[in-house]
Chain A
Amino acid sequence: MNFLSAMTTSSSGMAAQRFRMNILSANIANAETTRTPEGGPYRRRDVIFGAMPAQRTFEEELRSAAQPDDPLQAKVLGVAIDERPPVLRYEPSHPDANEDGYVAMPNVNPMEEMVNLMLASRSYEANVAAFNASKNMALKAIEIAKA
């Protein structure tokens, strides 16, 4: 089913971008977090995207081999931890300050996160537009049988 696979592909893109938005929100929310379960300040996270062919059932595999024009879905392959060192901020009154008065703050740059957040939201919108295009085409095809 052609339109269904187009819609599934668009939804895979939307899901991937929404997941990324969650991770970016967590980065912004924890921009000042100095204590984490794994110890030390929060470290910013990034999403790794990968293009994957859609899951095929055994019957589909039997019926035909994968074609070059098969759509690739966007999938989240994993979440990577940013290895940049924490930012040291001079704040002697802070309970987590070291003996020199510096606090290790998360390596989160709010500007960077905002830019990524905007990118994610625009990509999401692009996927919504693609989904609507598929939907309108499918509806138009149904109309042939009417009238």
Chain B
Amino acid sequence: MRGIFDQQLSLLQQSMDFRARRNTLLSSNIANIETPGYKAKDLVFENALGEAMKANLPGPLEVTDPRHFDGRNTVPLNQVKPQTILTSNPVGNLDDNSVDLEREMVKLGENQVVYQALAQMVSHKFSQLRMSIREEAI
């Protein structure tokens, strides 16, 4: 089951979705920078995604039938869920708020750059497909 839209595209899509959600969460941290008692949150995803990417590789157990269990305990790629974590802030603010503005801004910038890179990769993927459909020369 592999059409022209392969696993790579769904991986990119999932990563972009994760980045968009993370952006929302970081915006929420920044909006609440002066709310007493607010706890900064973050999303983690890439580790779980990397694990799920290995799902196609053979597991530790030998498989001689497609119904066999290969001993790998991974979630399928399309079911990987990002995890919400609380950001730790060792310095902390006096009002029990754990938002560190500089760190949130850096994360926001980084997240934005990675998102744009992912979007670029998706565009590139589509232009490649288009090129092969139209039999264009490179």
A136 to B30, CA, bound (A): 17
Of residues 110 through 147 on chain A, the ones whose CB sits less than 8 Å from some CB of chain B are 119, 123, 126-127, 129-131, 133-134, 136-137, 140-141, 143-144, 147
Report yes or no: A12 in contact with B123, Cβ–Cβ below 8 A: no
Q: Which of A69-77, A81-89, A99-107 contacts B (4 or more CB under 8 A)?
A: A69-77
Of residues 100 through 122 on chain B, the ones whose CB sits less than 8 Å from some CB of chain A are 101, 104-105, 108-109, 111-112, 115-116, 119-120, 122
Q: Which of B35-43, B46-54, B55-63, B66-74 contacts A (4 or more CB under 8 A)?
A: B35-43
Q: Pick the contact of A130: B17, B31, B41, B127 (CB < 8 A).
A: B31
A6-B23 contact given A51-B38, A129-B108, A136-B112, CB 8 Å threshold: yes
Q: Pick the contact of A73: B28, B37, B82, B127 (CB < 8 A).
A: B28
A144-B119 contact given A69-B82, A72-B28, CB 8 Å threshold: yes
- Give the distance to chain B from A79, nearest Cβ to Cβ, in Å: 15
List chain A residues, Cβ under 8 A from B31.
9-10, 12-13, 16, 71-74, 127, 130
- List the A residue with the shortest CB-CB distance to B20: A2
Report yes or no: A13 in contact with B23, Cβ–Cβ below 8 A: no
A143-B119 contact given A2-B21, A2-B24, A72-B38, CB 8 Å threshold: yes
Q: Pick the contact of A74: B26, B35, B108 (CB < 8 A).
A: B35
A49-B36 contact given A69-B21, A140-B115, CB 8 Å threshold: yes
Report yes or no: A141 in contact with B119, Cβ–Cβ below 8 A: yes
Q: Is A3 an interface residue (CB 8 A)?
A: yes
Report yes or no: A123 in contact with B115, Cβ–Cβ below 8 A: no
A71 to B119, CA, bound (A): 23
Q: Provide 26 A-B residue pairs closer than 8 Å at the C-beta atoms, listed in order of the A residue.
A: A3-B24, A6-B20, A13-B32, A16-B31, A49-B32, A49-B35, A50-B35, A51-B35, A69-B43, A71-B31, A72-B32, A73-B31, A126-B104, A129-B105, A129-B108, A133-B27, A133-B108, A133-B109, A133-B112, A137-B20, A137-B116, A140-B116, A141-B115, A143-B123, A144-B123, A147-B126
Known: A6-B20, A13-B33, A130-B30. 17 other contacts (CB 8 A): A2-B20, A13-B27, A16-B31, A49-B34, A51-B28, A51-B32, A68-B41, A71-B25, A71-B27, A73-B28, A74-B31, A126-B104, A127-B30, A129-B105, A130-B31, A140-B116, A141-B16
